[in-house]
Amino acid sequence: MSGSRVAAATLFGAVPAAAALLGAAVCAGWLLAALAAAALLASLACLGHRRLRRQLDQGVAARHALEQIVTERTAALERQRLDTAEHLRRLETAHAHLGATDRLAAVGRLAAGVAHEVNTPLAIALTNVAWLRDALSTEGASAPAQQEIAAAISDTDQAVQRIARIVRDLQDFAQDSPRAPGAADLVEVLRQVERLVAHAVRARARFTVKLPEPSLLVGGSPSRLGQLFVHLVLHAAHSVEEGMADAHEVRIEARCSDGGAVVEVSDTGRGLDADAVAHVFDPFHHTWSTCAGHGLGLAACHGIAGAVGGSIEVTSAPGQGSRYRVRLPLAGPGVRLALRETPEARARHRVLVVDDEPLACASLYRTLSLRFDVVPHTSPRHALGVVRAGERFDAVLCDLMMPEMSGAEFHRELLRLDAGLADRVVFLTGGAFTEGAREFLERVQNPRLHKPFEPRQLIALLASRCERVLPAA
């Protein structure tokens, strides 16, 4: 029992006794005894009051102390919450930076193979160009036949297209598009992956790729899915010891299954034990691979698959190789239809071409003149003057980075002159642009095309812009 309760019990036990004593004394006529009892009763009442008051004061003090403790603990928890939120923000930033670093590291690992893939068609193109230069300067009977010249041009074109495709694949892998589409052609993504990693993989193992004939449209951006499968294939390739290429295989196989797409990346390499399998998708987990087992590598693969609503799993055993199975959801029918639609060819339209590089401007004129009435300008200010003077155009093709006036500045001035035409501008970019240019492209809705590009792709894009012209009233 607490002190206050003991005091109260003692007090309330003594008061009745004193009161009874006082009553008896009064009845008996004992005046002195009655006075003594009354004094005792008053003393006990004062004592009880003081004790109760002291206990109440102690209770109030204890309550204030508890309130102070609660306030201090609440403030400490709030500070801890803010610190935790800041740590999470820093971790998210670091995760994003590590993801970019990991992609660049993978690009670095691809560099040797890409250099080999580029140098071969580049040598073909340079050899044919040198031969054509000599052939065109030769006259008389020794001049080559038209068929030979046409064959050399065709071979050169194929070689250059091969280089352009490799560069475009590498650009797609190295960075995300600011406006990545919501669906990707999985078959085309895997073909790009094959082109990027084939040389590196075949240095260690046989490389087999089995893809379905029809396209498989899945959710997610092509660049992110490309990063996922490049990581997996390189990881599989490095499971094989060097110098044993004929004895091992790395295999990619894609198929439809249960309303989705399944891609399996397998190898016949050293495999993983049970502990490594359990932690293979953990960031910074160390496996046998010195390049794929550090950093975010396979953890990034797991994150990309999950971000598009898919999954990734692995089965492996020491000495028996590994199999990574990626499941991806198919894109919806609306997206499928939108990706397959192509603009129909109609009557010739008038296109303004703005590029400060004279050779680029001339080549664009030659290419586009087969389909459009082209007005080329190497000066963006002169091009604006033509629009200001009342010339009518159905679309504009404009380089993004120009010394006299950037593509963003040109678009801003054109917006003042003709907002409808500004909406029909197509931008060309080499990929290496400033932060301001990147922010501009993220802000505007105009399409952009990365150099190098397929002429047919450029023509189709400009045709789609021309289709936006309102018919004359």
pLDDT digits (tens), the chain, 473 positions: 455 554 445 544 555 655 565 565 555 555 666 666 667 777 777 877 788 888 888 888 888 888 889 888 888 888 888 888 887 887 777 666 665 555 555 555 555 556 656 776 787 788 888 888 888 887 766 677 788 888 788 878 877 877 776 676 566 555 554 444 467 888 888 988 888 788 788 888 999 999 987 777 888 878 788 888 888 888 888 888 888 888 899 999 999 887 789 999 999 988 888 888 887 776 555 554 444 334 446 777 887 888 888 999 999 988 889 999 999 998 766 554 444 444 443 457 899 999 988 888 888 888 888 888 888 888 899 999 889 888 889 999 999 888 889 999 999 999 999 999 999 999 988 765 677 788 888 888 888 888 888 888 888 889 888 877 655 44
Instruction: Report the pLDDT value the prediction gives residue 327, as an integer from 0 to 100.
Output: 92
Contact between 405 and 399 (Cβ < 8 Å): no
Distance CA 237, CA 200 (A): 8
Tokens 């399409």: give the residue: 447
Residue type, 283: P
Contact between 204 and 237 (Cβ < 8 Å): yes
Domain assignment of residue 7, yes or no:
no
**Residue numbers of the domain that contains 417:** 342-466
End-to-end CA distance of the chain: 99
Q: Are residues 251 and 353 in the same domain?
A: no
Contact between 365 and 388 (Cβ < 8 Å): no
Record the pTM.
Answer: 0.47
Contact between 199 and 230 (Cβ < 8 Å): no
Instruction: Specify the pairing of strand 395-399 against strand 350-354.
Output: parallel
| Cα-based angle 335, 179, 369 (whole degrees, multiple of 5) | 85
**Which secondary-structure segment (H or E) carries 375?**
strand 373-377
**Residue 78 corresponds to which tokens in the numbers above?**
């709030």
Alpha-carbon distances, residue 215 vs 97, 114, 184, 286, 406 (angstroms): 33, 26, 10, 37, 39
Q: Are residues 410 and 308 in the same domain?
A: no
Q: Are residues 375 and 294 in the same domain?
A: no
DSSP 467: T
CATH number for 460: 3.40.50.2300
Domain assignment of residue 78, yes or no:
no
Instruction: Report the pLDDT value the prediction gives residue 472, as an integer from 0 to 100.
Output: 47
Distance CA 232, CA 288 (A): 14
Contact between 328 and 186 (Cβ < 8 Å): yes
- Nearest to 38, CA basis, from 48, 23, 28: 23
Residue 329, preceding peptide bond in cis (omega within 30° of 0):
no
Q: Are residues 359 and 438 in the same domain?
A: yes
Residue type, 409: E
Question: What residues contact 211, with CB distance under 8 A and at least 6 apart?
Answer: 187, 190, 191, 252, 253, 254
Q: Are residues 288 and 353 in the same domain?
A: no
Number of domains in the chain: 2
Instruction: Specify the pairing of strand 425-429 against strand 260-267.
Output: unpaired
Return the bridge partners of 324, or none.
Answer: 265, 314
Number of H helices, E strands in the chain: 14, 12
Last residue of a domain, one of 314, 338, 362: 338
Q: Are residues 256 and 348 in the same domain?
A: no
From the CB of residue 159, how many other CB atoms can be counted at a distance below 10 Å? 20
Q: Are residues 322 and 368 in the same domain?
A: no
Instruction: Report the pLDDT value the prediction gives residue 238, as an integer from 0 to 100.
Output: 85
Last residue of a domain, one of 282, 313, 338: 338
From the CB of residue 257, how many other CB atoms can be counted at a distance below 10 Å? 10
Last residue of a domain, one of 338, 370, 397: 338
Domain assignment of residue 306, yes or no:
yes
Instruction: Report the pLDDT value the prediction gives residue 267, as an integer from 0 to 100.
Output: 93
